[in-house]
Amino acid sequence: MITVTLYLGVVKQKKNLQHLELRFHIICWLFPLVVTLLPLLTKSFGKTDIYWCWISINQTIDYVWRVICLYLPLWLSIVFNFVAHVKVVKVINTHIAFASEEKEYRVELTRRLKLYPVVLFISYLPFTLLRLLSLFEISNFYFDLIAVAIYSLLGLLNAIVYGSNPSVRSSLSRCFGIQQENRSIDSFEDSSLDSLVVIER
């Protein structure tokens, strides 16, 4: 939903996206609820092949539920994130006018936008490969360990990427008593999409 909002605001130049909030809530709450309940119909929840409870792999339908409940929406989301972020970065680099003192901010902004989908890809790729291997009944404890470890870093990697902006760094510096000079890009970070000027070239 963050990417959808970013795409609509920057690429499609839509204003006042607040009217989409109800739709976002329906998608973010109703869809997960439905796909969580579906495996109950076939009693597919249970101990998995990697040491915790989820959708078991005792019958063929269990593999179908895994794809429907996680892997299909996950990889569709990852592909959408890649495509949308590429388009957003292209618009920022070619159609949005920044003041000369905000050039550094543009570079940092586009760098972080490129990292968001990369974090998703890195975090979920080992788990996806693990599931594909399980279809062929191939199991390796060390690969399981690596997949779980990388997936567990998702929150940390997101925190680093989302938090690596001038405003957050400035707040952390103040929190720890480190003085930083005020820079225009700090205030620009807090501005809305409405303040961006789109120009045709």
Q: What is the CATH number of the domain that holds 64?
A: 1.20.1070.10
* pLDDT tens digits, 74-104: 999 999 999 999 999 988 888 766 666 677 7
Q: What percent of the chain has pLDDT over 70?
A: 82
- Verdict on whether the full-model pTM lies above 0.85: no
Whole-angstrom Cα distance, residue 96 to residue 200? 9
Note the pLDDT of residue 186. 43
Count of domains in the chain? 1
Helix (H, G, I), strand (E, B) or coil at 137: coil
* 162-169: average pLDDT: 72
Domain that holds residue 131: 2-198
Q: What percent of the chain has pLDDT over 90?
A: 31
Task: Please check the confidence at residue 55 and state whether its pLDDT lies above 80.
Answer: yes
Write the burial class of residue 40 (CB in 10 Å: 0-12 exposed, 13-18 middle, 19+ buried).
exposed
